[in-house]
Amino acid sequence: MHRYPFTNSLWRQHDRTKPYEQLKQSVSTEIAVIGAGIAGLVCAFELQRRGKQVVLLEALEIGHGTTGHTTAKCSVQHGTIYSHLIRTFGEEVAKLYYTFNQESLTYLQDQHDAGFDMDFEIKDSYLYSTQKSTELEDELDAYRRIGVDGGDATTELNTLLPFPVKQGLVIRNQAQFHPVNYLHELADRFVQSGGVIYEQTRALEISKGPRPIITTSTGRRVQANQVVVASHYPFNDLKGLYVSKFTVERSYIVACEMEEAPPEGMFLSVDEPSRSFRDYHEDGKTYLLVGGEGHLSGQVTDTRSRYDVLEAFAQQTFHASRASFRWSSQDLITLDRLPYVGQMFQREPDIWVATGFLKWGMTNGIAAGRLLADLLTGTENRYARFISPLRSAVKPHDVRSFVKTNVDTVTQFVKGKTEETGTVDALQLDEGGLVQLEGKKVGVYRDLENQCHIVSPTCTHLGCTVKWNNAERTWDCPCHGSRFDSLGNVLEGPATKPLSYEARDDL
Ligand SMILES: Cc1cc2nc3c(=O)[nH]c(=O)nc-3n(C[C@H](O)[C@H](O)[C@H](O)COP(=O)(O)OP(=O)(O)OC[C@H]3O[C@@H](n4cnc5c(N)ncnc54)[C@H](O)[C@@H]3O)c2cc1C
């Protein structure tokens, strides 16, 4: 953690619980779940509730991952997904995707009614364009064809928003909530019913069954009958070609205090640049959360300016105050835009995965956790096939994205090796970058005390060259989205090993 953080997620400002212990001795359990984000915690909670013995391993702490840095709209309005799915797969799959996500909303509503503390609020969800958009016409048509409970809202949006909208759609009675409170609520209840959580315990490897063994960063092991990988990017991605099936997109959020009431609802534009916004109330304050400015992860160094753009939008459009909170995060987009949830590898029936939520993990993640809980307890679930990871032998309609994803990775790999580097002398206080030092290319961050933190710039996942991220003060990999702090420690996978590191105060 930096002493002067530039970024700070609104959702993570209050520590609700005491930290859970690290894994200090090897254990054996029925089911091990890896990753305490929304997918992992829902899955662990559901399995424990159904009488299974579950151990949950978290590399850092609950809420550290994308779920702690989301916008937390719980909506089935996922951009223009339904027209896309009808074009690619037909109406049946589009309908399945809709109900798969819709059931997560009902699940959340039931948990709210049962007393889960998560600032749950029902809101209408809007999609709009400030230009005439055939995309939205197609999406409206898709709503009609598959029975989505939504419709045209162009007139309504022109009364709700302070700028003209050419076309808009609404889906009523969606929801928004506090994602980190939700995670803690699930964790508390999971532990109360006998579940065990280990934080600061990174899974490094999973041996092949019959009872797989997970090796962890604490040197201890967990043996389980079944293992669920809910680590966001699957850290064991090299088998099964997972590594070539995702793009990783990073986007940015600012939360600005508002004097006036923000527009009532949750909003997303399909324009370029896209904007996403919702409100949040806490301690008598009203915030407007504005998201956008996305790009492929690790491919931008000047990330601070992305926040400036969003803040300017909030101020100019809604008369918001300066941003009180700024944060960013990344999510995984699969080749065919359906998540991967189910058995992870053809020949290993004991390893399961939940990933690829397309920036819509609040509903997809809950649905994934519930689906895996069904699969691991032998319960019939009609969604098992359409998002099974084993569907993912590359199909003709995926080939273009498959090739593009992999060409992009190779391009980034080569670019990183040949890119010009600066000199260490040119680095100002609180600045980082790739430099030539004593005949070697290294990554250097010069901190506010003028100490230089030097890392090897070669990502420990597959060897791409990491880039400096000036808002987070991190080293980000442009190939698969692994991220490291200025001391080289892993913040986000798929990498599991740190960058080699040394501190110098003579430069
Ligand atoms: C900016 C932004 C805004 C978004 N807004 C929305 C929204 O409004 N609505 C919506 O539905 N979706 C939204 N999303 C998407 C959603 O937030 C994600 O899809 C979802 O949070 C992913 O959840 P997860 O459980 O898969 O991963 P995470 O929340 O990242 O959890 C994975 C956990 O696994 C841990 N981990 C990783 N590797 C290991 C390991 N080797 N061993 C042990 N633990 C490990 C991590 O530390 C982490 O805690 C947004 C995404 C972004 C980037």
Going by C-alpha positions, the residue among 91, 84, 116 that lies closest to residue 187 is 116
CA 478/CA 475 separation, integer angstroms: 10
Q: What are phi and psi of 428, to 5 degrees?
A: -80, 175
| d(CA 217, ligand 1 centre) in Å | 21
Confidence of residue 411 (pLDDT cuts 50, 70, 90): low
67 C-alpha to ligand 1 centroid (Å): 4
What percent of the chain has pLDDT above 90? 82
Which residues does residue 494 pair with via DSSP β-bridges, in sequence order? none
DSSP character string of 461-488: TT-PBPEEETTTTEEE-TTT--EEETT-
Q: Is the pLDDT of residue 384 over 80?
A: yes
Buried b (16+ CB within 10 A) or exposed e, 491-505: bbbbbbebbebeeee
Of 104-113, 274-283, 297-306, 373-382, minimum mean pLDDT range? 297-306
What's the 334 CA to ligand 1 centre distance in angstroms?
15
Name, in order, each residue with C-beta under 8 angstroms of 411's C-beta and a sequence gap of 6 or more: none
- CA 133 to ligand 1 centroid distance, Å: 31
pLDDT for residue 392 is more than 60: no
Average pLDDT of the chain to the nearest whole number: 92
Examine the pLDDT at 17 and tell me if it is beyond 70: no
Answer yes or no: is pLDDT of 446 > 90: yes
Binding site membership of 266 for ligand 1 (Cβ less than 6 Å): no
User: Confidence band (pLDDT; 50, 70, 90) for 339?
Assistant: very high
Distance 66 CA to ligand 1 centre (A): 3
Provide mean pLDDT across the span 415-423: 73
Average of per-residue pLDDT across 387-396: 73
317 Cα–ligand 1 center, Å: 29
What's 213-231 look like in SS3? EEEECCCCEEEEEEEEECC
Q: What is the rounded distance in angstroms from the CA atom of residue 180 to the CA atom of residue 185? A: 8
Please report the domains of the chain, with CATH numbers, ordered by start residue.
Answer: 10-69+180-244+337-393 (3.50.50.60), 418-504 (2.102.10.10)
Q: What's the CA-to-centroid distance between 146 and ligand 1, angstroms? A: 29
If DSSP codes are grouped into helix, strand and coil, which group holds residue 399?
Answer: helix
CA distance 243 to 356: 12
**3-state secondary structure string across 140-162:** HHHHHHHCCCEEECHHHHHHHCC
The predicted pLDDT at position 244 comes to: 78
- Sign of the torsion formed by the C-alpha atoms of 108, 116, 373 and 43: positive
Listing DSSP states for 237-265 in one string gives -TGGGGGGSEEEEEEEEEEEE-SSPPPSS
Confirm or reject: Cβ of 72 under 6 Å from ligand 1.
Answer: yes
Look up residue 134 and give its two tokens.
Answer: 């055939």
- Taking CA atoms, 284 is separated from 257, 280, 281, 502, in Å, by 11, 10, 7, 46
- The span from the CA of 103 to the CA of 133, in Å, is 29
Residue 426 has pLDDT above 80, yes or no: yes
pLDDT given for residue 3 in this prediction? 59
CA 227 from centroid of its chain's CA atoms: 21
| Single pTM value for the model | 0.94
Q: Is 329 in the pocket of ligand 1 (CB under 6 A)?
A: yes
Model confidence at 394: pLDDT above 60: no
Peptide bond before 494: cis, by omega within 30 degrees of 0? yes
Residue 403: per-residue pLDDT: 61
Confidence at residue 133, expressed as pLDDT on a 0 to 100 scale = 80
Question: Minimum mean pLDDT among 179-183, 219-223, 477-481: which range?
Answer: 477-481
- The alpha carbon of 331 and the centre of ligand 1 are apart by a number of angstroms equal to 7
Q: Judge if the beta carbon of residue 251 lies within 6 A of ligand 1.
A: yes
Tally Cβ neighbours within 10 Å of residue 226: 22
Q: If you average pLDDT over residues 317-346, what whole number do you get? A: 95
Ligand 1 site, residue 85, Cβ cutoff 6 A: no
* Furthest C-alpha separation in the chain: 67
Contact 484, 430 (CB under 8 A): no
125 lines ligand 1 (CB under 6 A): no
**Any atom of ligand 1 within 6 Å of the Cβ of 37:** yes
Residue 501's pLDDT is what? Answer: 96
Q: Which atom of ligand 1 lies closest to the CA of 73?
A: 8
Residue 409 confidence class, pLDDT cut points 50, 70, 90: low
pLDDT digits (tens, 9 = 90+) for 245-257: 889 999 999 999 9
Q: How high is the pLDDT of residue 412? A: 65
Residue 391: its pLDDT value, please?
Answer: 84
Q: Is the pLDDT of residue 416 over 70?
A: no
> pLDDT tens, 69-127?
999 999 999 999 999 999 999 999 999 999 999 999 999 999 999 999 999 999 999 99
Length of the chain: 507
Give the residue, by CA position, lying nearest to ligand 1 atom 19.
361
- Dihedrals phi, psi of 494, to nearest 5 degrees: -75, -15
Evaluate if residue 395 carries a pLDDT over 70. Answer: no
Q: Which of 12, 23, 66 to mutate to test the pocket of ligand 1 (most atoms within 8 A of CB)?
A: 66
- Percentage with pLDDT > 70 across the chain: 93
How confident is the model over 125-150, as pLDDT tens digits?
999 999 988 999 999 999 999 999 99
